[in-house]
Structure 1
């Protein structure tokens, strides 16, 4: 009779995710993870094949969390404001994950940048104010907005400023209008 699995993929992924939040993606090793799970490294490799596959699964889980925040209930008519509010909500509700992704850069700059661009492209695909701009202008506006939103979210995440969601939504709307006004000049 075969032995019953004691450690499942979900448990491994959850523990790896916890380690990433505290120590970063690069710190995950099979031995460290096995110690945290109180098992050998065998279940890790049986479930994920390689540490590279496990790290990719952790990254996908982090991405899914951010996508959920920027896609959940929308409170504003402006898709860009909703994107910003979701981003700030993510920074306040998931502060460790926000720091791991955007402050401590535990997932890598290229991976994070590509992911944020992907989310932005999906959420703003039909956003009318961007449609009248060239592709280069669109990218410049998106970069300006991303820098602005990251600064805003980081200040909130660090408890250096405080905004309720309605005030944040209003402030984001003002900042976004300034970004578009700069483009027209």
Structure 2
């Protein structure tokens, strides 16, 4: 008789991330995880106290996927939450984008997880425009809000703008928001 496959917490989280990316967060449940792992629901129940704990452990994995995507597509540039790569991520990984950036009450936890990226962007804006931290922080959030709107419309299938138009909109928005800082 073959040995029973040992299901680990890491295997469950990997399966959860895969389900999330393919089918969205609603598909990440005990029954679907057991099916994806080819086991009973018992290993999932033994590894996590419930779906809240699993979600809490899934968030850092999803953030890592996001950061890895952004790094791999940024080339030598810094990662910014307001550039074309953010929108490309929404197009390429719509379920993951919605989980990270469009869940109810997700803003505070995702912002916390992205503090290093945000701080890097804010410092870059401070240097580029010779502005205070406060002004750069507001500018960052304005630019992110604009890019997020386009990304959300893309991720949800609300619109299918071509990337040339999107790039133009991002450039025009940045120009409008930064005009007051240029001497």
* TM-score normalised by structure 2 residue count: 0.72
Distance of aligned partners of 1:81 and 1:135 in 2 relative to their CA distance in 1, 3 Å threshold: closer
- Structure 2 Cα separation of the partners of residues 52 and 22 of structure 1: 12
Deviation at 1:80, TM superposition (A): 7.3
Residue 66 of structure 2 corresponds to 66
- Structure 1 Cα separation of the partners of residues 78 and 175 of structure 2: 13
**Secondary structure of the structure 2 residue equivalent to 1:72:** helix
Residue 6 of structure 2 corresponds to 6
Q: Superposition RMSD on alpha carbons, in Å?
A: 3.6
Instruction: Indicate if the aligned counterparts of 1:13 and 1:54 stay in contact, CA closer than 8 A.
Output: yes
- Structure 1 Cα separation of the partners of residues 31 and 165 of structure 2: 46
Instruction: Indicate if the aligned counterparts of 2:90 and 2:151 stay in contact, CA closer than 8 A.
Output: yes
Residue 129 of structure 1 corresponds to 128
Deviation at 1:114, TM superposition (A): 1.8
Residue 102 of structure 1 corresponds to 101
Distance of aligned partners of 1:45 and 1:183 in 2 relative to their CA distance in 1, 3 Å threshold: farther
Residue 41 of structure 1 corresponds to 42
Distance of aligned partners of 1:81 and 1:49 in 2 relative to their CA distance in 1, 3 Å threshold: closer
Residue 173 of structure 2 corresponds to 175
Query: 1:22 is matched with which residue: 25, 29, 40?
Result: 25
Is there any run of 5+ residues in structure 2 with no aligned partner, and where?
none
* TM-score normalised by structure 1 residue count: 0.71
- Structure 1 Cα separation of the partners of residues 61 and 33 of structure 2: 17
Which deviates more from structure 2 when the two are superposed, residues 88-97 or residues 61-70? Answer: 61-70
- Structure 2 Cα separation of the partners of residues 143 and 123 of structure 1: 10
Residue 139 of structure 1 corresponds to 137
Residue 150 of structure 1 corresponds to 148
Deviation at 1:62, TM superposition (A): 0.7
Residue 85 of structure 2 corresponds to 86
Instruction: Indicate if the aligned counterparts of 2:82 and 2:148 stay in contact, CA closer than 8 A.
Output: no
